[in-house]
Structure 1
Amino acid sequence: MRRQLLTVTLTLALTRPAAAFDIAFDYTYGDSFFDASIQNILDSAAAVYESRITDTLADTSGLSASIANPSDPNQQVTVQASPADTLTIYLGARDLGSGTLGLGGPVWFEGDNLPRTVSDSEFEPAFGTITFNNAFNNWYIDPDPSTTESFSGYDFYSVALHEIGHVMGIGSAPSWDAQIQNGTFTGPAATAANNGAAPNVTSDGGHWAEGTQSTVNGQPQEAAMDPTIGNGQRKQLTDLDWAALDDIGWDVQSNSVSPNS
């Protein structure tokens, strides 16, 4: 899932209190898949974004929307948008088939006098959704994502980072789409992070091209937001992934080390 937008016309007061950016997970539509170990990994993945995103976001909690239940796409549910300085992500789990580990994307409102900005240069989603594959039986559930060790299985932490990236707008925001040209993403920060060349994207524009390389703390790594991950592979957000967040309108603090690197 790349995106959802909802059209409303409301008049709301714009408030931007000074507070830290926070990702809040809502498990209302989850199931027993989201046990304590999974929740710990999700919190660790969220902390990576929270460590470097410095935006202040307006309160949208007075807005509600009808969306597909993230655990059952055939059921519509009504949810609240996010409080101030918070990006709420509604979580779900279901069988996504053998080739898909997760589906994530943002939701934003369109209309007059709305409190969060969505444009060709700015992206402030109202909330997001992520669905994980609960029928997949080869997850690696890391008891401590801050450590690095060899493992077998598909790393839930890396997949969580990736799907949150889609909620944040990589591959999904209008400000991402506005910078796609001739199969490349032309954002200036991403171009600089890619040695001066606009990085290639997939044919649908939703990811970096397969195998795109970048760096994490000076060490080479395949980009977190390319479309695949291998068995036994851990991915952190690379310099290129952070640069894309900067280009689509997030305020990204520089010179920080990922808390789970």
Structure 2
Amino acid sequence: MIRATNLVKKFGDSTAVDNLSFDVHQGEIFAFLGPNGAGKTTTIKMLTTLLQPTSGTVELDGLDPAQHPNDARKRFGIVFQDPSLDADLTAIENMELHGMLYHMPRELRISRTEMLMKTFELWDRRDSQVKTFSGGMKRRLEIARGLLHTPKILFLDEPTLGLDPQSRNQLWSHIQKLNETEKITVFLTTHYMDEADRVAHRIAIIDHGRIVAEGTSQEIKTRTATDSLEAAFLALTGNTIRDEKADSNAQLRDMAKMFRR
């Protein structure tokens, strides 16, 4: 469902993603883990048409996003790290706007909105403004919105950042249920190792733009002779605190150049 082959992304003299190759199978929950600045978000941006690779290729459901961006976008939903809801609109208005942007037929838009908002336990608050929602409710709404147009792939970039354990657990329960019932492929990043250990079918760990381990959680633990995914992660990536500010600034400059063309 997702294939990256020899993927490279450079920002000036800095290489954020360095010859990356991996496959994600249909219906799989795939965790993409790494320290700050390792290349996770840059990779997601290339997979979702927000950045052009310096070299290498990407396939989403058999399509090259660089060559067919509009068709590729119809095949995935995405939840970014930063909030993207309109806080002054109601929950159902946010869903309605998204469905209209994807040219969904009205009846399908209405029925799927109700189904997803009930699944994510938001239906009773459908007419409330988003600015009255808790952090967990906003995240659930963002994910429901990302699933509205029936994508084949859902990208989740640190979807539970800042949420309490109860909200995190509830959110993953909903996602796992939809993964099982709709066979949607989930590509996620997270800094919570327990989440990846619990929900991911397979895991890739990236460091300095390269994959340093890939497999099931148990396979990675066995390879590193550790008894937890967090211990395995630290064994593979070290204990040094990373700073991603410089890489983020370079990405912003690169994206600005792309949009000016």
TM over 0.5: no
Larger radius of gyration: 2
With the length of structure 2 as denominator, give the TM-score of the two structures.
0.27
With the length of structure 1 as denominator, give the TM-score of the two structures.
0.27
Structure 1 or 2: more helix by fraction: 2
